[in-house]
A and B are shown apart, each in its own frame.
Chain A
Amino acid sequence: MRGLLLATLLILVIGCAAPAVKPPTEQRPGEPPKIKVSVGEVSLPPASVVKASKDDTFDSLALRYLGDASLGWYVAQYNGLEALSPGQVLVIPASAQFTGGAGPDGFQAVPVLCYHKFSTDKSDKMTVTKKDFEAQMQFLKDNGYTVITLERLYDFLDRKTLLPPKSLVITVDDGWRSFYEIAYPIIKKFGYPVTLFVYTDLVTGSSKTVSWDMLKELAANGVSIHNHSTTHRDISDAEKTLGPKEFMDVVRSEVKDSEALLIKKAAARPAFFAYPYGASTPLLRAYLARNGYRGAFSVEREGNPFFADKLNSGRIMVFGDFDLERFKLELEEGSLYRVAMQ
């Protein structure tokens, strides 16, 4: 008896002498505990209690417990932490409940920035200088913005994922050469994802426009290339002047001809459409839905909350005369769909 007790004591002492922080210490959720409250018996949301090890990061914990490393921000936010220290105790839910980024002021919205042309010196309404563009990209980095892909935005609109606060998408329209020569190297330097909406009649490889080889190179380097019509005509205007049959023909050629070219010549997989001049009609939207397009964009200056119209999502055009203050304002406005909750 005495020997057994001594052995127990020895085991305990040795156990205690081990390092205080061991990777990973955790209490995995089993059957969620129930609490008795006045509205009845309520199950606590299943969650793990985790003690962080020295090798853990928010992203690695998100990957381990939520199956998605991109939800590291969520683990941090859930626990009210900005940095992770070894030995810190965290609670990590078994799944990230979709809330649409709701808060007391409203719902999270995602601004989609829309650029057109770039220049090394002069700016005009549709042309942003290299210096301004670089400053804007730096602003995003310095102020905690997360640039996401179009696919992630639409996962959010499909209620499949949560997005970090201050998420946004960068898009560039048309297919001007200045994107390839000026903007893309800057975007690449910052490591941001970017989407190029191309209207295929512009792809001539002239001194001002991109060539198919350039587009192919951009696509191979991760630039997401999507459809901006064949000729850039105002398709909605055609509905007013043409009969239904002729209008259907216009829609078909503006969507399908450019789509075929983008697939064949730029190795792109167009799944999103940017309406020329931002203008659409119900028939055009229905046509895109019928043809498997996941989303389409206007230029209505608004961010996109989770319940935004996926075939008429808003975009914020960035003009050449925007200073950083104006840029910031646009981002702030586009990041919240206001609804007073009280």
Chain B
Amino acid sequence: MKTYLAALILCIVMTCPAYASDKSAKAEAMERFRTMAQHAQESGDLNRALQCWYSVLTIEPKNQDALNKADELLRTIEESAKAHFEQGALEEKSGNQLKARDEYLRTLYYKPDHAQALAALTRSVSELDSFMDYALAQGDTPKTIAKKVYGDEAYEPVVQYFADSSSAVIKLPIMSIPEKQEEAPAAPPVVASAKTPDKADKTADKPKVQPKPDKLSEATALFKDGKYIDALQAVRFILEKEPSHPGALGLIKKMVDQAEVHYKKGVGMFINEKLLDAVREWDITLLLNPNHGRAMKSRESALRLMEKLKAK
């Protein structure tokens, strides 16, 4: 009797319209998520695919097909994120900021909350930094800080404005200070591309072979004549012999500054719709500073625009 009644209740519940409607609506939603997951996976959007399988599991937690698919995707996503993050770190170490940035972005594509990739991305986009930290030392005055940080006491008003006397570490604006002519270049304050990472350390103990004394003059003259490729070759020759050669490093800094000039010229050309001229300027920018992210992106953008305009 009891079994009969239980079966009867089950029959009534399963055939009742609300239950049937609920079941079919859930089935329809699961099918929708399944289809979306397949499309997302086919187009390479693995996170979206995983999100869809998670949705299926939210509706039906023991759905074996969804569990298998989520398992497979989770593994692929973990492995891809790890590989891209490691590649990013390698690129960053080698001084390839743009490649590093793209690798960190790929990491974040796979794992949007990857904290290390996010921190590294910020680090790799040097333009994001407006300030540098300066730890106050005993006896520091705005004048001495200006000299230390910017290489010129005349920057005292800048230090005065930005310094917060209540803190042991002050935030000072990162500036590209124009070098005075005829002066031996001081260690540049903050110029990303003037770094010679690792290479300098590795060769520091080797006996220094002095380049010919006129090689720097030759490089400088070539640079002034706008023969940038030859100037770069000459300066590289000096740095191979002596990686921390102050004159050569100073010239590289000038090249980085000059890159900015060409970048801005390119922007002007681009605004005036001289796309080809803009691309030429950005080619020069990248020659002088291969880590100039904005030039790289602007150049790509101009080339795409030219192609699309041609197709019009």
A→B interface (CB under 8 Å): 5, 8-9, 12-13, 15-16, 18, 20-21, 25, 33, 35-39, 42, 44-45, 47, 49, 51, 78-81, 87-91, 97-100, 102-104, 106-107, 240, 243-245, 248, 278-279, 281-283, 285-287, 289-290, 298-302, 307, 309-312, 317, 319, 325-326, 329, 333, 337-339, 341-342
* Other-chain residue from A21, A42, A88 in contact with B29 (beta carbon distance below 8 A): A88
Interface membership of B198, Cβ < 8 A: no
A residues in contact with B173, CB < 8 Å: 282-283, 285-287
Q: Which residues of B contact A80 (CB under 8 A)?
A: 32-33, 35-36
Interface string of B265-286 (1 = CB under 8 A from A): 0010011010000000000000
B65 contacts chain A at the CB level, 8 A cutoff? no
Interface residue? B308 (CB, 8 A): yes
Determine the chain B residues whose CB is within 8 A of the CB of A248 once the complex forms. Answer: 157-158, 161
Chain B facing A: main interface SS? helix
Name A77's closest neighbour in chain B (CB-CB).
B48
B55 with A91: CB separation less than 8 A:
yes
Total A-B contacts with CB atoms under 8 angstroms apart: 193
Residue B225, interface by CB 8 Å = no
* Per-position binary interface string of chain B over residues 127-138, scored 1 when its CB falls under 8 Å from any chain A CB and 0 otherwise: 110110000000
23 A-B pairs whose Cβ atoms sit less than 8 Å apart in the complex: A12-B16, A16-B12, A33-B58, A37-B70, A39-B71, A42-B74, A44-B57, A78-B55, A87-B21, A87-B25, A89-B29, A91-B59, A97-B112, A243-B154, A281-B175, A282-B175, A286-B173, A300-B298, A302-B294, A302-B298, A310-B128, A319-B273, A333-B304
Q: Which residues of B contact A (CB under 8 A)?
A: 5, 8-9, 12-13, 16-19, 21-22, 25-26, 28-29, 32-33, 35-36, 43-45, 47-48, 51, 54-55, 57-59, 61, 67, 70-71, 74-75, 78, 102, 105-106, 108-110, 112-113, 121-122, 125, 127-128, 130-131, 152, 154-158, 161-162, 172-176, 178, 264, 267, 270-271, 273, 294, 297-298, 300-301, 304-305, 308-309, 312
Report B1 CB to chain A, min CB distance, Å: 9
